[in-house]
Amino acid sequence: MTELSELSVQEHQATTERLLKGIPASAGIAICSHNVVVIKKLRPSKNIQVSPEKIPAEIKKFSIAIEKSLAEITSVIHNDHETAIHDIMETYSMILQDPTLQQEITKRIYTTRSAVQAIEDEFDAQCALFQNAKDEAMRERSAELDHVRHRLLVHIGKRKPISSISNGAIIISHSITPTDLLELHKRGVSAIITEIGGIASHVSILARSLRIPAIIGIPNITKKIPENCTVICDGYSGTVVINPTANTLLDYEQEQVKEQKKQKALGQIIELPCETTDKHTIKLSANIETLEEVDAAIMSGAMGIGLVRTEYLVKSDGSFPSEDEQYIWYKEIAERMYPHTVTIRTFDVGGDKKGGVKREENPALGYRGIRFLLGNKKIFRTQIRAILRASNHKNIKIMLPMISQVKEIKRAKKIIDSVKHQLREEQIPYDTHISVGIMIETPAACCIASDLGKYSDFFSIGSNDLAQYTLGADRNNGYVADMFNELHPSVLRLMHHAVTGAKANGISVSLCGELAAWNTITSLLIGMGITELSVATPALLLIKSKIRKTHFESAKKTIEKILLSGKIPKEFRAKSKKRKTMK
């Protein structure tokens, strides 16, 4: 796992202000002068050996660490109501109770290794099998082992617990996993800053959803933060300010106050229509991964859930939830959101997501999305049954991921019809007219959109993957972050082609990728003909405000000029408002 070292500031030191620039991954400002936490990689322990007579005591230390770790995990499972946390903790529990792992560590202790050394040696050996894998799910397995190692070392007294992180902390780390972020969110962290990461990575998306300011892509940041310092994290511009001057500090404190006032002002438009100045209505929905996000979306005035990422239910070990587990989850979301619609995307596993097959040479272009589902019909049928059972209130829609061929829709709908027939025979009620739509996230899908639309009830454009596949730039790779551009003319033209294909078939088209949350280009998306925008909950009111200031007919003319010329005016390029770089 990682070693925690807290930089507690007792009094401000007169040191030189320094600025570090990274990639703004999640908007917001956090200021911390007493609670900065640096999460460093574990340093290998020295070759710690013990005398033979101390072996029983070391084995006892290891046994107690196992017991305490399991008790801690059990407590979290009983006291936390979030399904994803349960799955993570259950995975940790299974690793801790693995008899082979326990036996191997015990064997190492019998060779006069200390309990600490035996744990680190065995986990190093286990992690080595996974950490260099090309497949993201395999690398995540390595991260899970590191989490378990850390818990054991905490209870032996070798490492500080993550529970020592207190409310309001700014976290500085080489990287953050989704698991890390969920745990840190529970602890009330105010911001995260990492050395690596991608703007469209799942951690960045999750940070935006959880309203945690985040900056990524600052090399060696864990070595550049000195002890006894004040840190400002500007998630709008991607600026980290170390030891700010009094003027800089005052400037950012005033910015925080302005943001609070802005959010309060946005709250006043919750009940107002989501329409342009010339009365063109746009449906504004939320993207969610957890149940708690549904209530937040409702409070922010969401007109529906445009994307439920069901792969969030896939367990950390890659196993899939049962039909009843899924049914309960989908039913809860639909009931909370009623009468507004809920669009449930079937498992989009593989590629950069957990689940799917292991050790693909090129997982992003491999066995993922609908390809995986059609090749694993039992998993697909189980999910469709759960969705249909939960559709009794008639406010659920099904969305198929990663479609690139007509035959994929036909095969998927044939399976859906088969499940419907089975439910009728069992006299289980469901929405007999449930809509089935598709994700448009490959250049191929955009090019044959008019054909795909003949078999679809709606389109939803996934701008993240569409940009990735069009530009050949991995959205999770920090090395090509500057090449990942969702406003590239080729991406916009492909999106427009998809919109045209939807209109030709009289079906609606939404955008549920991260592009939908860029308030600077909201008018372009509306002008293109997109009828629904689905964004992370924190962005709902900001986008609604932008919609209400947009003139639809003018927006149409603007996007037509851009599509024809291939040139994006400067005012549309920035993802977030620019800030003056302070010296």
CA-to-CA distance for 86 and 81, rounded, in angstroms? 8
Edge-to-edge, what's the strand order for the sheet holding 214-216? 2-7, 36-41, 170-173, 191-194, 214-216, 23-26
Q: Are 169 and 191 in contact (CB under 8 A)?
A: no
Q: Are 39 and 173 in contact (CB under 8 A)?
A: yes
Q: Is 10 helix (H, G, I), strand (E, B) or coil?
A: coil
Whole-number pLDDT of residue 307: 97
Residue 392 phi/psi, 5° resolution? -60, -25
Whole-number pLDDT of residue 319: 85
Q: Which amino acid, 350?
A: G
CA-to-CA distance for 91 and 70, rounded, in angstroms? 11
Residues annotated as catalytic are 202, 512
CA-to-CA distance for 469 and 472, rounded, in angstroms? 5
CA-to-CA distance for 113 and 110, rounded, in angstroms? 7
> Encoding tokens for residue 174?
């080489």
Q: Which amino acid, 380?
A: F
| pLDDT < 70: residue spans in the chain | 1-15, 40-47, 76-88, 131-143, 157-164, 177-179, 198-202, 227-228, 316-317, 351-361, 475-478, 481, 573-583
Whole-number pLDDT of residue 578: 37
CA-to-CA distance for 112 and 59, rounded, in angstroms? 11
Q: Terminus-to-terminus CA distance in the chain, angstroms?
A: 37
Whole-number pLDDT of residue 83: 55
CA-to-CA distance for 360 and 380, rounded, in angstroms? 21
With tokens 């909201």, the residue in question is 522
Q: How many residues are present in the chain?
A: 583
β-partners of residue 438 are 400, 459
Give kind and range of the element (H or E) at residue 336.
helix 323-337
Q: Which of 166, 194, 224, 206 is nearest to 32 (CA)?
A: 166
Q: Is 291 helix (H, G, I), strand (E, B) or coil?
A: helix
Whole-number pLDDT of residue 13: 39
Whole-number pLDDT of residue 264: 81
Whole-number pLDDT of residue 546: 94
> Encoding tokens for residue 219?
């090399």
Q: Is 8 helix (H, G, I), strand (E, B) or coil?
A: coil
Count CA atoms within 13 Å of residue 496 on its CB side.
18
The radius of gyration computed from the CA coordinates of the chain, to the nearest angstrom, equals 25
In the chain, DSSP finds a helix count (H) and a strand count (E) of 21, 18
Whole-Å CA distances, 90 to 130, 145, 315: 20, 13, 9
Whole-number pLDDT of residue 195: 85
| Residues 333-343: tens digit of each pLDDT | 999 999 999 99
Residue 188 backbone class (left: φ over 0; alpha: ψ -120 to 50; beta: rest): left
Whole-number pLDDT of residue 581: 32
Q: Is 487 helix (H, G, I), strand (E, B) or coil?
A: coil
Q: Are 362 and 345 in contact (CB under 8 A)?
A: no
Whole-Å CA distances, 505 to 153, 451, 462, 463: 60, 9, 19, 21
Q: Are 218 and 175 in contact (CB under 8 A)?
A: no
